Amino acid sequence: MVTSLDKVPDVGQGGSVVAGMVTPTEPAISARLRRRKRPVGAILGATWLVIVILAAVLAQALPLPKPAALGNTFAAMPSWDHWLGTDGLGRDVLSRIVFGARGSMAVAIGATSLALVIGVPLGMISGFFRGATDAGISLFVNFMLSFPPLIFLIAVVTALKPGILTLVVALALLGIPTFARVARANTIALADREFVTAARALGASPLRILRRELLANVMLPILSLALVVMATLVVAEGTLSFLGLGIPPPTPSWGGMLSAGRDSLRTHPLLVFVPALFFFLTVLAFNMLGDWARSRVGRSSSI
Amino acid sequence: MIKVRNPASAGGLSVATSGTPEVATDEVPGRQTDDRASSAQRVRRAKRWLAAVTRLVLLLFLVTVSTFGLLKLTPGSPIDAILPPDATPAQIASARAEFGLNQPLAVQYVHWLGHVLTGHLGDSYSTRQPVSGIIADAAPVSLEIATVALLTALLFSVPVAVWAAYRPGRLVDRVSNFVTSATLATPAFVLGVLIVFVFGVQLGWFPILGWVPFSENPVSHVEHLVLPVVTLALGECVLFTRLLKGDMMATLQQDHVLSARARGLPTWRILIKHALRQSSFSLVTVMGVVVGRLIGGTVLVEYIFSIPGMGSVVIRAVTSRDYIVIQAVVLLTALLYLAINTLVDLSYPLLDPRVRKGRAW
């Protein structure tokens, strides 16, 4: 009785408790092996994202026609000259996808970073000091959450001048509440831990505790969440571009391409399928990578 | 953990041996734990209500101020839309005075709020119609699509989730897992366009554009409703299935389910009365998020299928820079969203006694 209380059976640590003794068992070993299995989904996802981001960064250097260059083959099927075919104006679809990835990735990464930089400190301060500070920041966060996301984006895009910077700001505003909430919850959970008490006893200032003791611990689950947020922001940017409110038309964007392709859905569905496939794979890649990261870091305490 | 406080698990077993299992089954365990609240609890409850009301009032203030500010931030003023471009400064000044634009912002805000509260949302810059009339025409369409989509999503997701949780790893579970992951990675607008392609263009089963009012032609009305509703419902359906299945699988591991099974209750009764009722709480917790998604999704679906609802109104307003219409739509959807979220928040403690103790934001 005493031994079983002392040694709590820990399933998945490679042993089972039999009369107080840890003995390795058959299923436990296979469980260990299973855990060591390569995360195929995450690797595939990471590979895809690396390809997309590299292509976006190196777009100028790649041997592609200019995304705005008008050709003489209109709405053509894929060929050796145009790997993904051409659109209704004779522009190379692959080139437009690659250059469109620039906008999507820049906006998603920029907005997520901005949201992290603002949201995490807000949440940490809120969770660390509690009281009136917490109430104030909570009110601010709840205020941002009191608009339906798409309506909020439409309102911000309307109020500011259209362009990439506006998109980054608007999407960052959408991401801030998510990060602030999780940062707050994790800070509250960590603030009572021994290492924080020790730091406080050693005379560390609140700022130092937040920066040196808490930040790294709070950031880990948040970075895994950031991948999922990035996926939603890619979708949000695509939605706005699809509605004609995102990246302005001459600049290629996946959402814009999809929207334009709708007109020739009956005759050239490929113009819709290609950007649709790229959206699907990219969001799937972010989700897979995010799921894997979250399973490694442990479930974050709130969504 | 052994749940001793569960009256049904102790009482239920004795009933089961006596051969009449139905008698004790209608009590859901854990419901009757705290009927009588102590005075301290009552004070705490009153404080929580007061805090909720204060927060709501502050949020309402912030939402109205910011939507009011939206119109002030946007380039151009209503004056530009009304006066000819070559108006003299005197004309502009008198128009400003007429619209009250020369008053302090706070006064303008109070005036505007008064107008809004009495249903005067102003006139559209581009069509000159009263905004309240435009919205009264468009809102029922959007509400119908969103409501039907929500009900459809529930109708499909609940049975699938229950069965997938009951038989994990089997056909229903596998198929639903595959569909769920695939749909989660497909943005709503991509899904909408693909659905148009498959069911509208390739198969030609349903019309892909436009809207026919119910009063005009009920059959055609339903036909035009199908694809938008499917597009909108699919995303929610996937969310519900995932959530409910996870919760159900946890619930099915609990002691009261085992005890119900030991009493020999039929499977459907265990699943529905003992597990689903408890797990359906997780659906309520996401209702706030779901309403936000539905509002956004309705905008998209109306854009894709050319349906004359609120979404089309707001998109048209954005492209024609009709700021006063945007302001009205933003304000109304935010108020609706806030109201529903508040109701959801307040319903937690009523539905689940475990929440009454502590809570996060």
Write the pLDDT tens digit of every residue in B346-355: 777 777 666 5
Q: Is A92 helix (H, G, I), strand (E, B) or coil?
A: strand
Of B262, B353, B253, B248, which Cα lies nearest the Cα of B25?
Answer: B262
Nearest CA to A105 among A61, A151, A167? A167
> Residue B360 is nearest to which of A154, A280, A302, comparing CB atoms?
A302
DSSP string, B40-107: HHHHHHHHHHHHHHHHHHHHHHHHHHHHHHHHHHSSS-HHHHHS-TT--HHHHHHHHHHTTTTS-HHH
Report residue A140 as tokens.
């601010």
Residue segments in chain B with a per-residue pLDDT below the cut of 70: 1-37, 74-85, 98-100, 352-361
Q: Give CA torsion, residues B123, B128, B131, B132, to 10 deg.
A: 100
The residue among B74, B189, B208, B303 with the most chain A CBs within 10 A of its CB, best to mutate, is B189
Distance between CA atoms of residues B65 and B57, nearest Å: 12
Separation of alpha carbons A214 and A209, rounded Å:
6
- Alpha helix (H) residue ranges in B253-322: 255-262, 267-269, 277-279, 281-305, 310-319
The model's confidence at residue A5, banded by pLDDT at 50, 70 and 90, is very low
Of A242, A267, A279, which to mutate for an interface test with B (greatest number of B Cβ within 10 Å)? Answer: A242
Q: Which of A153-157, A256-260, A297-301 has the lowest mean pLDDT?
A: A297-301
Between B354 and A162, the more confident residue is A162
Which among A238, A251, A252 has a CA at the least distance from the CA of A280?
A238
pLDDT tens-digit readout, A186-245:
888 888 888 888 888 898 888 888 888 888 888 888 888 888 889 889 989 889 888 888
Q: Residue A252 has what pLDDT?
A: 84
Question: For B295, which of A141, A148, A245 is closest by C-beta distance?
Answer: A148
d(CA B25, nearest CA chain A) in Å: 34
| CA atoms B333, B336, B338, B344: torsion sign | negative
Question: Which residues 192-251 of chain B have a CB within 8 Å of chain A?
Answer: 193-194, 196-197, 201
Separation of alpha carbons B158 and B245, rounded Å: 9
Q: Is A36 exposed, middle or buried (0-12, 13-18, 19+ CB in 10 A)?
A: exposed
With bands split at pLDDT 50, 70 and 90, how would you rate the model's confidence at A7?
Answer: very low
Considering only CB atoms, A242 lies closest to which of B189, B196, B295, namely B189
DSSP-derived 3-state class of residue B253:
coil
Residue A16 pLDDT: 37
Mean pLDDT of chain A: 78
Task: Look at the alpha carbons of B10, B14, B15, B16 in this order and tell me if their dihedral is positive or negative.
Answer: positive
Contact with chain B for residue A93, Cβ under 8 A: no
CA torsion B193→B195→B198→B200, rounded to 10°? -90
User: Rounded CA gap, A134 and A205, in Å?
Assistant: 19
Chain B residues in contact with A144 by the CB 8 A cut-off are: none
Is B332 in CB contact (< 8 Å) with chain A?
no
pLDDT on residue B281: 78
Distances, alpha carbon A89 to alpha carbons A65, A265, A271, B138, in Å: 14, 15, 12, 36
CA dihedral B187, B193, B198, B201 (to 10 degrees): 180
**B350-B352-B355 Cα angle (round to 5):** 100
Closest to A256 in 3D by CA, of A96, A78, A112, A52: A96
Residue A140, Cβ neighbours under 10 Å: how many? Answer: 16
Alpha carbon of residue A20 to chain centroid: 45
Q: Do residue B337 and residue A269 have CB atoms under 8 angstroms apart?
A: no
Distance of alpha carbon A161 from alpha carbon B209, whole angstroms: 31
Q: Do B193 and A239 count as a contact with CB atoms less than 8 A apart?
A: no
Q: What is the pLDDT of residue A116?
A: 94
Q: Counting one residue from A and one from B, how many pairs have CB atoms under 8 Å apart?
A: 128
CB A108 within 8 A of CB A230: yes
Tell me the two tokens of residue A150: 């798409």
CA A224 vs CA A182, A212, A231: distances in Å: 11, 20, 12
Put simply, the answer to whether A148 touches B319 (Cβ < 8 Å) is no
Q: B139 CB near a chain A CB, below 8 Å? A: no
Among A146, A272, A287, the residue with its CB nearest the CB of B193 is A272
Question: Region A106-129: what's the mean pLDDT?
Answer: 92
Q: CB-based burial of residue A30 (10 Å sphere; 0-12 exposed, 13-18 middle, 19+ buried)? A: exposed
Say how many residues make up chain A.
303
Place of tokens 């799921």: A291
Q: Is A262 on the interface with B (CB under 8 A)?
A: yes
Angstrom distance (rounded) from CA B69 to CA B109: 9
Return the DSSP state at B272: I
Convert the pLDDT of each residue in B291-325 to its tens digit: 888 888 899 999 888 888 888 888 888 888 778 88
Residue A257 has pLDDT above 60, yes or no: yes
- Which chain A residues are within 8 Å of B291, Cβ to Cβ? 148
- Are B124 and B329 within 8 A, CB to CB? no
Query: pLDDT for A59-73, tens place per residue?
Result: 777 777 777 666 666
pTM: 0.77
Q: Sign of the C-alpha dihedral, residues B80, B83, B89, B95? A: negative
pLDDT at A72: 67
Longest dimension (CA), chain B: 95
Q: Tell me, what's the pLDDT at A31?
A: 55
Per CB-CB distance under 8 Å, the chain A contacts of B326 are 154-155, 158
DSSP letter at A17 equals E
d(CA B122, CA B108): 14
A141, A146, A243 ranked by CB distance to B63: nearest: A146
| Helix A164-191 with A149-159: angle, nearest 10 deg | 130
Work out whether the CA dihedral B340, B345, B348, B351 comes out positive or negative.
Answer: negative
CB contact under 8 A, B318 and A158: yes
**Under 8 Å CB-to-CB from A11, ≥6 apart: which residues?**
A28
Interface contact A244, partner B, CB < 8 A? yes
Q: Would you state the pLDDT for residue B106?
A: 83
Contact A151 B196 (CB under 8 A): no
The phi, psi pair for A223, rounded to 5°, reads: -65, -35
- Residue B50 has φ and ψ, to the nearest 5°, of -60, -45
For B187, the closest of A148, A238, A245 (CB atoms) is A238
Higher pLDDT, B206 or A116: A116
Helix extents (H) in A12-148: 26-36, 40-57, 93-129, 131-144
Contact: A238, B330; criterion CB under 8 Å:
no
| Residue, of A184 and A39, whose pLDDT is higher | A184
B55 Cα to chain A: minimum distance (Å): 7
